[in-house]
């Protein structure tokens, strides 16, 4: 059984699932998934503390273990490259991440992989942008994906703060 906890953030309620060994999900939801309980474990408590520190501006890199679940080799390579090489305050284009991952995934495919990322924020898919703008984002409260992406990038200093 997995443990589930939530954190109120400037971009909505973030839910985190831990199996006690790794963080397996990060979602924008306040109700636990069917396979999780509201009980905590030490790893979940650490992940919640790290997320709180990230949103407070005092944490720049998460160091909790993550489990990406069942993925293709290409998807795992792309998410691993993102997690290991694109730091706080940096962005990379979909095409740039495709090249950096060493896979033959086209830039459009990178967008699909970002949308299926099981641990957003910790594996920072919000840092992947289009060559001509923000691109998409499936995180955040329903219907607020791009607003959430922009807030996260502004928070990290990767984008200037919006005037409006």
**Residue 125 among the catalytic residues:** yes
DSSP character string of 36-82 = EES---HHHHHHHHHHHHHHHT--SS--S-B---S--HHHHHHHHHH
Burial class (CB in 10 A: 0-12, 13-18, 19+), 17: buried
Separation of alpha carbons 78 and 66, rounded Å: 15
SS3 for 27?
strand
Say which of 125, 129, 153, 158 is annotated catalytic.
125
SS3 for 32?
coil
Instruction: Name residue, tokens 């396979």.
Output: 35
**Which distant-in-sequence residues (6+ apart) come within 8 Å of 102 by Cβ?**
77, 81
Catalytic residues: 125
């Amino acid at each position: 059984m997995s443990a589930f906890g939530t954190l109120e953030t400037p971009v909505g309620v973030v839910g985190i699932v831990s199996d006690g060994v790794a963080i397996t999900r990060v979602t924008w939801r306040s109700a636990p998934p069917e396979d999780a309980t509201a009980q905590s474990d030490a790893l979940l408590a650490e992940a919640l503390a790290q997320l709180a520190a990230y949103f407070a501006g005092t944490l720049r890199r998460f160091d909790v273990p993550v489990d990406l679940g069942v993925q293709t080799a290409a998807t795992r390579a792309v998410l691993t490259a993102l997690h290991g090489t694109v730091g706080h305050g940096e962005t990379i284009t979909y095409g740039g991440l495709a090249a950096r991952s060493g896979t033959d995934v086209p830039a459009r495919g990178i967008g699909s992989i970002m949308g299926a990322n099981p641990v957003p924020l910790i594996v920072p898919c919000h840092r992947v942008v289009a060559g001509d703008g923000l691109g998409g984002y499936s995180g955040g409260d329903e219907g607020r994906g791009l607003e959430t992406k922009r807030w996260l990038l502004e928070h990290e200093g990767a984008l200037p703060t919006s005037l409006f």
